[in-house]
A and B are shown apart, each in its own frame.
Chain A
Amino acid sequence: MAVIRDMMPAFELFRPVSVDDALQLMARHGEAAWALAGGLDTFDWLKDRIKRPEAVIDLGAISEMRGITADRGGLTIGAMTTLTEVATSPEVVESFSLLSMAAFHVATPQIRNQGTIGGNVAQDTRCWYYRGGWPCYRAGGNICYAAAPKAMNREHCILGAKRCVAVNPSDTAPALIALDAQMVIRSAGGERVVAAEDFFMSPAVDITRMTVLEPDELLTEIRIPETWSRARFYFEKVRDRQSWDFSLVTVASAMRMSGGRVQDARIVVNGVAPRPVRVTEAESVLIGSPANESIGLAAGEAAIRRAKPLRHNDFKRPLMRNLIRRAIRGQEA
Protein backbone atom coordinates (compact mmCIF):
# COMPACT_ATOMS: atom_id res chain seq x y z
CA MET A 1 0.00 0.00 0.00
CA ALA A 2 1.71 3.09 -1.15
CA VAL A 3 1.66 6.04 1.13
CA ILE A 4 4.71 7.74 -0.34
CA ARG A 5 3.85 10.74 -2.44
CA ASP A 6 6.74 13.11 -2.48
CA MET A 7 7.90 13.24 -6.07
CA MET A 8 6.24 14.08 -9.31
CA PRO A 9 6.47 11.96 -12.41
CA ALA A 10 7.94 13.70 -15.45
CA PHE A 11 5.84 15.80 -17.81
CA GLU A 12 6.36 18.12 -20.72
CA LEU A 13 6.29 21.76 -19.65
CA PHE A 14 5.09 24.66 -21.79
CA ARG A 15 5.39 28.30 -20.78
CA PRO A 16 3.30 30.38 -23.20
CA VAL A 17 3.53 34.15 -22.94
CA SER A 18 0.10 34.99 -24.30
CA VAL A 19 -3.42 33.72 -23.75
CA ASP A 20 -3.67 32.89 -27.45
CA ASP A 21 -0.59 30.69 -27.30
CA ALA A 22 -1.87 28.99 -24.18
CA LEU A 23 -5.23 28.30 -25.83
CA GLN A 24 -3.56 26.81 -28.87
CA LEU A 25 -1.56 24.49 -26.64
CA MET A 26 -4.70 23.52 -24.75
CA ALA A 27 -6.47 22.74 -28.00
CA ARG A 28 -3.53 20.74 -29.30
CA HIS A 29 -3.09 18.56 -26.19
CA GLY A 30 -6.76 18.18 -25.36
CA GLU A 31 -7.37 15.82 -22.43
CA ALA A 32 -3.63 15.33 -21.84
CA ALA A 33 -3.16 19.01 -21.03
CA TRP A 34 -3.13 20.52 -17.58
CA ALA A 35 -3.30 24.28 -17.01
CA LEU A 36 -0.96 25.29 -14.20
CA ALA A 37 -1.61 28.50 -12.27
CA GLY A 38 -0.02 28.87 -8.80
CA GLY A 39 0.63 25.15 -8.57
CA LEU A 40 -0.75 24.59 -5.09
CA ASP A 41 -3.61 22.31 -6.11
CA THR A 42 -1.76 21.00 -9.18
CA PHE A 43 1.36 19.68 -7.46
CA ASP A 44 -0.70 18.05 -4.76
CA TRP A 45 -2.36 15.98 -7.48
CA LEU A 46 0.84 15.33 -9.39
CA LYS A 47 2.81 14.24 -6.33
CA ASP A 48 -0.01 11.88 -5.47
CA ARG A 49 0.43 10.47 -8.99
CA ILE A 50 -3.32 10.25 -9.24
CA LYS A 51 -3.47 12.76 -12.08
CA ARG A 52 -0.72 12.29 -14.60
CA PRO A 53 -0.93 14.91 -17.34
CA GLU A 54 1.56 14.65 -20.18
CA ALA A 55 1.60 18.36 -20.98
CA VAL A 56 1.62 20.99 -18.27
CA ILE A 57 0.81 24.45 -19.58
CA ASP A 58 2.21 26.95 -17.13
CA LEU A 59 0.26 30.21 -17.24
CA GLY A 60 2.80 32.01 -15.05
CA ALA A 61 4.50 33.89 -17.87
CA ILE A 62 1.31 35.39 -19.34
CA SER A 63 1.41 38.99 -18.16
CA GLU A 64 -1.99 39.86 -19.66
CA MET A 65 -3.60 37.48 -17.17
CA ARG A 66 -2.25 39.33 -14.17
CA GLY A 67 -3.22 42.57 -12.46
CA ILE A 68 -6.18 44.55 -11.19
CA THR A 69 -7.67 47.44 -13.14
CA ALA A 70 -10.50 49.81 -12.27
CA ASP A 71 -13.32 49.57 -14.74
CA ARG A 72 -16.44 51.82 -14.63
CA GLY A 73 -16.77 51.70 -10.87
CA GLY A 74 -15.99 48.02 -10.89
CA LEU A 75 -12.79 46.00 -11.22
CA THR A 76 -11.23 43.59 -13.67
CA ILE A 77 -8.93 41.07 -12.06
CA GLY A 78 -6.67 38.86 -14.15
CA ALA A 79 -7.04 35.22 -13.25
CA MET A 80 -3.30 34.89 -12.54
CA THR A 81 -3.31 37.72 -10.01
CA THR A 82 -2.01 36.34 -6.73
CA LEU A 83 -4.18 36.13 -3.65
CA THR A 84 -1.78 38.44 -1.83
CA GLU A 85 -2.29 41.03 -4.57
CA VAL A 86 -6.07 40.66 -4.34
CA ALA A 87 -6.04 40.82 -0.54
CA THR A 88 -3.91 43.96 -0.40
CA SER A 89 -4.99 45.86 -3.54
CA PRO A 90 -6.21 49.34 -2.48
CA GLU A 91 -9.02 49.18 -5.06
CA VAL A 92 -10.26 45.88 -3.72
CA VAL A 93 -9.89 46.94 -0.09
CA GLU A 94 -11.74 50.24 -0.64
CA SER A 95 -14.69 49.13 -2.71
CA PHE A 96 -14.95 45.36 -2.43
CA SER A 97 -13.45 44.55 0.95
CA LEU A 98 -15.49 41.35 0.98
CA LEU A 99 -13.13 39.93 -1.62
CA SER A 100 -9.98 41.11 0.14
CA MET A 101 -11.20 39.51 3.37
CA ALA A 102 -11.89 36.29 1.51
CA ALA A 103 -8.48 36.29 -0.17
CA PHE A 104 -6.81 37.01 3.15
CA HIS A 105 -8.47 33.95 4.67
CA VAL A 106 -6.83 31.56 2.23
CA ALA A 107 -4.25 29.26 3.86
CA THR A 108 -0.98 31.02 4.69
CA PRO A 109 1.16 33.96 3.54
CA GLN A 110 3.31 31.74 1.33
CA ILE A 111 0.30 30.16 -0.32
CA ARG A 112 -1.29 33.56 -0.89
CA ASN A 113 1.95 34.70 -2.50
CA GLN A 114 1.95 31.76 -4.88
CA GLY A 115 -1.74 31.03 -5.30
CA THR A 116 -3.87 32.90 -7.83
CA ILE A 117 -7.47 33.93 -7.71
CA GLY A 118 -8.18 31.88 -10.82
CA GLY A 119 -6.62 28.83 -9.22
CA ASN A 120 -8.50 29.45 -6.01
CA VAL A 121 -11.89 29.43 -7.68
CA ALA A 122 -11.05 26.56 -10.02
CA GLN A 123 -9.40 24.27 -7.44
CA ASP A 124 -10.59 20.75 -6.94
CA THR A 125 -12.44 19.46 -3.92
CA ARG A 126 -10.62 18.29 -0.79
CA CYS A 127 -12.70 15.13 -0.27
CA TRP A 128 -10.01 12.79 0.92
CA TYR A 129 -11.50 9.68 -0.63
CA TYR A 130 -11.39 11.38 -4.01
CA ARG A 131 -7.96 12.90 -3.40
CA GLY A 132 -6.73 9.57 -2.09
CA GLY A 133 -7.40 8.06 -5.50
CA TRP A 134 -10.51 6.04 -4.61
CA PRO A 135 -12.55 5.21 -7.74
CA CYS A 136 -15.57 7.28 -6.74
CA TYR A 137 -18.27 9.01 -8.81
CA ARG A 138 -16.14 12.11 -9.12
CA ALA A 139 -13.22 10.03 -10.35
CA GLY A 140 -15.46 8.37 -12.92
CA GLY A 141 -16.55 5.39 -10.82
CA ASN A 142 -19.96 4.48 -9.53
CA ILE A 143 -19.93 4.93 -5.76
CA CYS A 144 -19.48 7.72 -3.25
CA TYR A 145 -17.24 6.43 -0.46
CA ALA A 146 -17.86 9.51 1.66
CA ALA A 147 -21.61 8.82 1.79
CA ALA A 148 -21.19 5.16 2.74
CA PRO A 149 -22.57 4.14 6.18
CA LYS A 150 -19.21 4.06 8.00
CA ALA A 151 -17.61 6.85 6.02
CA MET A 152 -15.75 9.82 7.42
CA ASN A 153 -17.68 12.80 6.19
CA ARG A 154 -17.24 15.56 8.69
CA GLU A 155 -16.13 17.95 5.94
CA HIS A 156 -18.80 17.00 3.41
CA CYS A 157 -22.13 18.28 2.08
CA ILE A 158 -25.31 19.03 3.89
CA LEU A 159 -27.03 20.60 0.90
CA GLY A 160 -27.59 19.94 -2.78
CA ALA A 161 -25.62 16.70 -3.07
CA LYS A 162 -26.22 14.48 -6.08
CA ARG A 163 -24.33 11.19 -5.85
CA CYS A 164 -21.06 12.86 -4.73
CA VAL A 165 -21.03 14.63 -1.34
CA ALA A 166 -17.76 16.55 -1.72
CA VAL A 167 -17.79 20.30 -1.13
CA ASN A 168 -16.20 23.22 -2.88
CA PRO A 169 -13.27 24.48 -0.78
CA SER A 170 -12.71 27.95 -2.28
CA ASP A 171 -12.65 30.96 0.03
CA THR A 172 -12.91 33.57 -2.71
CA ALA A 173 -15.72 31.86 -4.63
CA PRO A 174 -18.55 32.81 -2.23
CA ALA A 175 -17.29 36.41 -2.12
CA LEU A 176 -17.26 36.61 -5.93
CA ILE A 177 -20.80 35.26 -6.12
CA ALA A 178 -21.97 37.73 -3.49
CA LEU A 179 -20.40 40.51 -5.57
CA ASP A 180 -22.13 39.18 -8.70
CA ALA A 181 -18.79 38.79 -10.46
CA GLN A 182 -18.60 37.74 -14.10
CA MET A 183 -16.12 35.08 -15.16
CA VAL A 184 -14.47 35.59 -18.54
CA ILE A 185 -13.71 32.28 -20.23
CA ARG A 186 -11.73 31.92 -23.43
CA SER A 187 -10.95 29.11 -25.80
CA ALA A 188 -9.38 28.98 -29.23
CA GLY A 189 -12.95 29.32 -30.47
CA GLY A 190 -13.71 32.61 -28.70
CA GLU A 191 -14.86 34.11 -25.43
CA ARG A 192 -17.87 33.60 -23.19
CA VAL A 193 -18.85 35.30 -19.97
CA VAL A 194 -20.52 33.39 -17.17
CA ALA A 195 -21.89 34.74 -13.90
CA ALA A 196 -19.84 33.56 -10.92
CA GLU A 197 -22.99 31.92 -9.61
CA ASP A 198 -23.12 29.72 -12.71
CA PHE A 199 -19.38 29.12 -12.98
CA PHE A 200 -19.44 26.18 -10.58
CA MET A 201 -20.68 22.93 -12.03
CA SER A 202 -23.95 21.59 -10.79
CA PRO A 203 -23.51 18.01 -9.63
CA ALA A 204 -26.63 17.12 -11.53
CA VAL A 205 -24.89 18.02 -14.79
CA ASP A 206 -21.36 16.65 -14.39
CA ILE A 207 -20.03 15.20 -11.19
CA THR A 208 -16.44 14.95 -12.40
CA ARG A 209 -15.81 18.67 -12.77
CA MET A 210 -15.83 21.53 -10.29
CA THR A 211 -16.46 24.29 -12.84
CA VAL A 212 -18.03 24.74 -16.24
CA LEU A 213 -14.59 25.11 -17.86
CA GLU A 214 -14.19 22.75 -20.80
CA PRO A 215 -10.79 21.05 -21.25
CA ASP A 216 -9.81 23.58 -23.93
CA GLU A 217 -10.98 26.63 -21.99
CA LEU A 218 -9.23 29.01 -19.63
CA LEU A 219 -10.62 31.37 -17.04
CA THR A 220 -8.74 34.53 -18.03
CA GLU A 221 -10.24 37.28 -15.93
CA ILE A 222 -12.89 38.11 -13.37
CA ARG A 223 -15.02 41.23 -13.68
CA ILE A 224 -16.63 42.73 -10.64
CA PRO A 225 -19.44 45.16 -11.46
CA GLU A 226 -20.03 48.39 -9.55
CA THR A 227 -23.33 47.00 -8.21
CA TRP A 228 -22.12 46.08 -4.72
CA SER A 229 -19.32 48.62 -4.37
CA ARG A 230 -18.94 49.66 -0.71
CA ALA A 231 -22.01 47.71 0.34
CA ARG A 232 -22.36 46.28 3.83
CA PHE A 233 -20.22 43.16 3.73
CA TYR A 234 -19.76 40.19 6.00
CA PHE A 235 -17.29 37.34 5.68
CA GLU A 236 -16.70 34.56 8.15
CA LYS A 237 -14.87 31.31 7.66
CA VAL A 238 -15.05 28.64 10.34
CA ARG A 239 -12.08 26.31 10.43
CA ASP A 240 -10.29 24.15 12.94
CA ARG A 241 -7.33 26.43 13.37
CA GLN A 242 -6.59 30.05 12.67
CA SER A 243 -4.54 29.63 9.53
CA TRP A 244 -3.76 26.99 6.98
CA ASP A 245 -7.03 25.26 7.03
CA PHE A 246 -9.91 24.71 4.67
CA SER A 247 -13.33 25.97 5.56
CA LEU A 248 -15.92 23.94 7.43
CA VAL A 249 -18.57 26.56 6.64
CA THR A 250 -18.03 29.99 5.13
CA VAL A 251 -20.51 32.79 4.67
CA ALA A 252 -20.02 35.82 2.42
CA SER A 253 -22.70 38.45 2.12
CA ALA A 254 -23.38 41.85 0.64
CA MET A 255 -26.29 44.04 1.73
CA ARG A 256 -27.72 47.41 0.76
CA MET A 257 -29.69 49.19 3.44
CA SER A 258 -32.34 51.84 2.99
CA GLY A 259 -34.32 53.48 5.77
CA GLY A 260 -33.21 50.88 8.31
CA ARG A 261 -34.37 48.05 6.11
CA VAL A 262 -32.54 45.70 3.80
CA GLN A 263 -33.09 46.88 0.27
CA ASP A 264 -31.16 44.12 -1.43
CA ALA A 265 -28.88 41.33 -0.33
CA ARG A 266 -26.86 38.41 -1.58
CA ILE A 267 -25.88 35.74 0.90
CA VAL A 268 -23.58 32.94 -0.19
CA VAL A 269 -22.28 29.93 1.73
CA ASN A 270 -19.50 27.53 0.94
CA GLY A 271 -18.26 24.32 2.48
CA VAL A 272 -21.78 22.94 2.67
CA ALA A 273 -22.61 21.94 -0.90
CA PRO A 274 -20.87 20.67 -4.05
CA ARG A 275 -20.61 24.27 -5.17
CA PRO A 276 -20.81 27.62 -3.41
CA VAL A 277 -24.49 28.47 -3.16
CA ARG A 278 -26.60 31.58 -2.82
CA VAL A 279 -29.03 31.14 -0.01
CA THR A 280 -32.08 32.62 -1.69
CA GLU A 281 -34.34 31.32 1.08
CA ALA A 282 -32.50 33.54 3.52
CA GLU A 283 -32.33 36.47 1.12
CA SER A 284 -36.08 36.48 0.63
CA VAL A 285 -36.71 36.52 4.39
CA LEU A 286 -34.33 39.41 4.70
CA ILE A 287 -35.20 41.78 1.91
CA GLY A 288 -37.51 44.49 3.12
CA SER A 289 -36.86 43.71 6.77
CA PRO A 290 -34.53 45.25 9.35
CA ALA A 291 -31.18 43.45 9.67
CA ASN A 292 -31.64 42.38 13.27
CA GLU A 293 -31.21 39.29 15.41
CA SER A 294 -34.68 37.86 14.91
CA ILE A 295 -34.69 38.33 11.16
CA GLY A 296 -31.21 36.85 11.12
CA LEU A 297 -32.42 33.80 12.98
CA ALA A 298 -35.44 33.42 10.71
CA ALA A 299 -33.23 33.72 7.64
CA GLY A 300 -30.78 31.21 9.09
CA GLU A 301 -33.56 28.76 9.86
CA ALA A 302 -34.94 29.16 6.36
CA ALA A 303 -31.51 28.49 4.91
CA ILE A 304 -31.06 25.11 6.58
CA ARG A 305 -34.59 23.84 6.13
CA ARG A 306 -33.59 21.59 3.26
CA ALA A 307 -30.28 20.50 4.75
CA LYS A 308 -29.60 16.76 4.88
CA PRO A 309 -26.59 16.05 7.07
CA LEU A 310 -24.46 12.94 6.80
CA ARG A 311 -23.34 10.79 9.72
CA HIS A 312 -20.57 13.10 10.94
CA ASN A 313 -21.53 16.59 9.82
CA ASP A 314 -24.76 17.44 11.53
CA PHE A 315 -22.86 20.27 13.25
CA LYS A 316 -22.76 22.13 9.94
CA ARG A 317 -26.51 22.84 10.12
CA PRO A 318 -26.48 24.99 13.25
CA LEU A 319 -23.13 26.37 12.15
CA MET A 320 -24.53 27.53 8.82
CA ARG A 321 -27.66 28.90 10.48
CA ASN A 322 -25.63 30.81 13.04
CA LEU A 323 -23.23 32.25 10.49
CA ILE A 324 -26.10 33.52 8.36
CA ARG A 325 -27.69 35.00 11.45
CA ARG A 326 -24.44 36.73 12.30
CA ALA A 327 -23.91 37.91 8.73
CA ILE A 328 -27.25 39.69 8.94
CA ARG A 329 -26.93 41.05 12.45
CA GLY A 330 -23.22 41.84 12.25
CA GLN A 331 -20.34 40.69 14.44
CA GLU A 332 -20.55 41.23 18.16
CA ALA A 333 -18.06 43.80 19.41
Chain B
Amino acid sequence: MDRYTTATLRVNGQDLQVVFPTHHTLLEVLREECGLTGTKHGCELGECGTCTVLVDGEPVLSCLALTAEMEGRSIETVEGLQDGNELHPLQAAFADLGAAQCGYCTPGMLMTATALLAENDDPSADEIRTALAGNLCRCTGYHKIIEAVEWAAGVVRGDAGAGPAREVLFGSSVPGEGS
Protein backbone atom coordinates (compact mmCIF):
# COMPACT_ATOMS: atom_id res chain seq x y z
CA MET B 1 0.00 0.00 0.00
CA ASP B 2 1.38 3.40 -0.90
CA ARG B 3 1.92 5.85 1.90
CA TYR B 4 1.05 9.47 1.28
CA THR B 5 2.59 12.68 2.55
CA THR B 6 0.97 16.07 2.77
CA ALA B 7 3.29 19.02 2.47
CA THR B 8 3.36 22.67 1.58
CA LEU B 9 5.76 23.29 -1.24
CA ARG B 10 7.01 26.73 -2.14
CA VAL B 11 7.09 26.61 -5.93
CA ASN B 12 7.94 29.70 -7.97
CA GLY B 13 7.16 31.89 -4.98
CA GLN B 14 3.76 30.36 -4.26
CA ASP B 15 2.84 27.99 -1.47
CA LEU B 16 1.14 24.89 -2.80
CA GLN B 17 -0.42 22.29 -0.57
CA VAL B 18 0.06 18.88 -2.11
CA VAL B 19 -0.66 15.29 -1.22
CA PHE B 20 1.60 12.78 -2.88
CA PRO B 21 2.89 9.23 -2.50
CA THR B 22 5.80 9.48 -0.08
CA HIS B 23 8.21 7.74 -2.38
CA HIS B 24 7.56 10.05 -5.32
CA THR B 25 10.32 12.26 -6.60
CA LEU B 26 10.12 16.01 -6.92
CA LEU B 27 9.90 15.55 -10.69
CA GLU B 28 6.83 13.34 -10.39
CA VAL B 29 5.08 15.67 -7.97
CA LEU B 30 5.86 18.82 -9.96
CA ARG B 31 4.45 17.25 -13.10
CA GLU B 32 1.57 15.24 -11.70
CA GLU B 33 0.36 17.05 -8.57
CA CYS B 34 1.42 20.61 -9.42
CA GLY B 35 0.66 20.39 -13.15
CA LEU B 36 4.04 21.90 -13.99
CA THR B 37 5.07 19.83 -16.99
CA GLY B 38 7.80 22.22 -18.13
CA THR B 39 10.28 20.12 -16.16
CA LYS B 40 10.98 17.00 -18.21
CA HIS B 41 11.49 13.30 -17.75
CA GLY B 42 14.69 12.47 -19.64
CA CYS B 43 16.45 9.50 -18.11
CA GLU B 44 15.24 9.12 -14.52
CA LEU B 45 18.74 8.20 -13.43
CA GLY B 46 20.45 11.58 -13.08
CA GLU B 47 22.22 11.23 -16.40
CA CYS B 48 20.74 13.90 -18.68
CA GLY B 49 19.77 17.04 -16.73
CA THR B 50 16.38 17.67 -18.38
CA CYS B 51 14.70 17.52 -14.96
CA THR B 52 16.89 20.25 -13.43
CA VAL B 53 15.09 22.68 -11.12
CA LEU B 54 16.44 25.07 -8.52
CA VAL B 55 16.13 24.20 -4.85
CA ASP B 56 17.12 27.13 -2.67
CA GLY B 57 18.81 28.57 -5.73
CA GLU B 58 20.94 25.52 -6.54
CA PRO B 59 20.45 23.34 -9.61
CA VAL B 60 19.18 19.93 -8.55
CA LEU B 61 18.08 16.84 -10.47
CA SER B 62 14.42 16.54 -9.55
CA CYS B 63 14.32 12.91 -10.71
CA LEU B 64 16.70 12.01 -7.87
CA ALA B 65 15.22 14.14 -5.09
CA LEU B 66 12.41 13.09 -2.81
CA THR B 67 9.55 15.55 -2.58
CA ALA B 68 9.27 14.72 1.09
CA GLU B 69 12.55 16.57 1.61
CA MET B 70 11.30 19.77 0.02
CA GLU B 71 9.09 21.23 2.75
CA GLY B 72 10.33 24.67 3.68
CA ARG B 73 12.63 24.96 0.68
CA SER B 74 12.20 27.23 -2.28
CA ILE B 75 11.67 25.45 -5.60
CA GLU B 76 11.97 27.24 -8.91
CA THR B 77 10.96 25.78 -12.26
CA VAL B 78 10.96 27.07 -15.82
CA GLU B 79 7.35 28.20 -15.43
CA GLY B 80 8.48 30.78 -12.87
CA LEU B 81 11.19 32.41 -14.95
CA GLN B 82 9.01 34.87 -16.77
CA ASP B 83 8.19 38.08 -14.93
CA GLY B 84 4.62 38.93 -15.94
CA ASN B 85 4.76 39.39 -19.68
CA GLU B 86 8.46 40.07 -19.55
CA LEU B 87 10.75 37.24 -20.64
CA HIS B 88 13.72 36.50 -18.41
CA PRO B 89 16.89 37.72 -20.17
CA LEU B 90 17.92 34.09 -20.62
CA GLN B 91 14.63 33.25 -22.29
CA ALA B 92 14.98 36.28 -24.55
CA ALA B 93 18.54 35.39 -25.47
CA PHE B 94 17.65 31.75 -26.13
CA ALA B 95 14.86 32.96 -28.42
CA ASP B 96 17.00 35.45 -30.30
CA LEU B 97 19.89 33.07 -30.83
CA GLY B 98 17.81 30.00 -31.63
CA ALA B 99 19.36 28.22 -28.64
CA ALA B 100 16.20 26.17 -28.11
CA GLN B 101 16.05 23.76 -31.02
CA CYS B 102 13.92 20.76 -30.15
CA GLY B 103 13.38 22.43 -26.80
CA TYR B 104 13.42 19.34 -24.65
CA CYS B 105 16.64 20.17 -22.80
CA THR B 106 15.73 23.86 -22.67
CA PRO B 107 13.91 24.09 -19.31
CA GLY B 108 16.77 22.34 -17.53
CA MET B 109 19.36 24.44 -19.35
CA LEU B 110 17.54 27.62 -18.44
CA MET B 111 17.39 26.69 -14.77
CA THR B 112 21.06 25.76 -14.55
CA ALA B 113 21.99 28.97 -16.35
CA THR B 114 19.75 31.00 -14.02
CA ALA B 115 21.68 29.71 -11.03
CA LEU B 116 24.99 30.49 -12.73
CA LEU B 117 24.00 34.08 -13.47
CA ALA B 118 22.72 34.58 -9.94
CA GLU B 119 26.17 33.67 -8.69
CA ASN B 120 28.28 35.19 -11.45
CA ASP B 121 26.88 37.77 -13.85
CA ASP B 122 30.03 37.88 -15.93
CA PRO B 123 30.96 34.26 -16.58
CA SER B 124 33.58 33.33 -19.14
CA ALA B 125 32.63 30.88 -21.86
CA ASP B 126 34.60 28.21 -20.04
CA GLU B 127 32.74 28.89 -16.81
CA ILE B 128 29.45 28.59 -18.71
CA ARG B 129 30.57 25.33 -20.29
CA THR B 130 31.49 23.88 -16.91
CA ALA B 131 28.28 25.07 -15.29
CA LEU B 132 26.16 23.50 -18.06
CA ALA B 133 28.10 20.23 -18.19
CA GLY B 134 25.27 18.49 -16.35
CA ASN B 135 22.68 19.25 -19.03
CA LEU B 136 22.82 17.22 -22.22
CA CYS B 137 21.73 18.69 -25.53
CA ARG B 138 21.73 16.71 -28.78
CA CYS B 139 20.57 19.40 -31.23
CA THR B 140 22.70 22.50 -30.89
CA GLY B 141 26.19 21.23 -30.17
CA TYR B 142 25.93 23.66 -27.22
CA HIS B 143 27.37 26.70 -29.01
CA LYS B 144 24.22 28.72 -29.33
CA ILE B 145 23.34 27.92 -25.74
CA ILE B 146 26.71 29.14 -24.46
CA GLU B 147 26.40 32.28 -26.55
CA ALA B 148 22.87 32.91 -25.28
CA VAL B 149 24.04 32.68 -21.68
CA GLU B 150 26.87 35.14 -22.43
CA TRP B 151 24.41 37.50 -24.00
CA ALA B 152 21.89 37.23 -21.17
CA ALA B 153 24.68 37.85 -18.66
CA GLY B 154 25.35 41.14 -20.39
CA VAL B 155 21.69 42.08 -20.09
CA VAL B 156 21.63 41.10 -16.41
CA ARG B 157 24.71 43.26 -15.80
CA GLY B 158 23.01 46.11 -17.60
CA ASP B 159 25.65 46.44 -20.30
CA ALA B 160 24.19 48.88 -22.79
CA GLY B 161 25.75 47.10 -25.74
CA ALA B 162 25.05 43.66 -24.37
CA GLY B 163 24.87 40.94 -26.90
CA PRO B 164 27.48 39.08 -28.80
CA ALA B 165 29.05 40.50 -31.93
CA ARG B 166 27.55 39.25 -35.15
CA GLU B 167 30.31 36.75 -35.70
CA VAL B 168 29.71 35.32 -32.25
CA LEU B 169 26.01 35.20 -32.93
CA PHE B 170 26.59 33.11 -35.98
CA GLY B 171 29.27 30.98 -34.49
CA SER B 172 32.24 32.24 -36.46
CA SER B 173 34.28 33.25 -33.46
CA VAL B 174 35.90 31.05 -30.91
CA PRO B 175 33.58 30.69 -27.91
CA GLY B 176 36.54 30.29 -25.60
CA GLU B 177 37.45 33.87 -26.34
CA GLY B 178 34.11 35.19 -25.17
CA SER B 179 32.23 38.21 -26.39
Give chain A's interface residues, CB within 8 Å of chain B: 5-13, 15, 36, 39-40, 43-44, 47, 56, 58, 60-61, 84, 107-111, 113-114, 242-244
Contact = CB atoms under 8 A, between A and B. Distances in A.
A109 B134 contact: yes
Interface centre among B45, B49, B66, B131 (most CB of A within 10 A): B66
Nearest to B44: A6
B90 to A, nearest CB: 16
Sorted from nearest, which 6 A-B pairs have the closest CB atoms? A108-B134, A243-B133, A6-B44, A110-B134, A113-B58, A10-B2
Q: Is the interface of B mostly helix, strand, loop or mixed?
A: mixed
8 contacts: A10-B1, A10-B22, A12-B22, A39-B66, A44-B46, A107-B46, A110-B46, A110-B134
A66 to B, nearest CB: 13
B52 interface: yes
Given A109-B133, A243-B134, A13 B68 contact: yes
Contact of B49 (A11, A47, A61, A108): A108
B65 interface: yes
Contacts, number: 85
Contacts of A39: 64-66
B45 A44 contact: yes
Nearest to A84: B58
A3 to B, nearest CB: 12
Contacts of A113: 58-60
B3 interface: yes
Interface in B125-140: 130-131, 133-134
Given A110-B52, A242-B133, A244-B134, 4 more contacts: A7-B44, A10-B3, A84-B58, A111-B61
B1 A110 contact: no
Contacts of B45: 5, 43-44, 47
A87 to B, nearest CB: 12
B25 interface: yes
Interface string B50-87: 00100000111101111011000000000000000000
Given A10-B3, A243-B133, A114 B61 contact: yes
B21 interface: yes
A9 B58 CA distance: 28
B4 to A, nearest CB: 10
B23 interface: yes
A242 B126 CA distance: 13
B66 A58 contact: yes
Interface string B1-19: 1110100000000000000
Contact of A9 (B23, B28, B59, B131): B23
B47 interface: yes
B66 A107 contact: no
A33 to B, nearest CB: 15
A13 B133 contact: no
Nearest to B61: A110
Given A5-B44, A10-B2, A110 B21 contact: no
Contact of B131 (A36, A60, A109): A109
Contacts of B69: 15, 58, 60-61
B39 interface: no
B22 A13 contact: yes
B40 interface: no
B41 A110 contact: no
Contact of B23 (A6, A13, A107, A109): A13
A156 B44 CA distance: 25
A111 B63 CA distance: 11
A233 B40 CA distance: 41
Interface centre among B25, B46, B60, B112 (most CB of A within 10 A): B46
Given A15-B69, A110-B61, A114-B64, A8 B133 contact: no
A265 B69 CA distance: 43
B59 A109 contact: yes
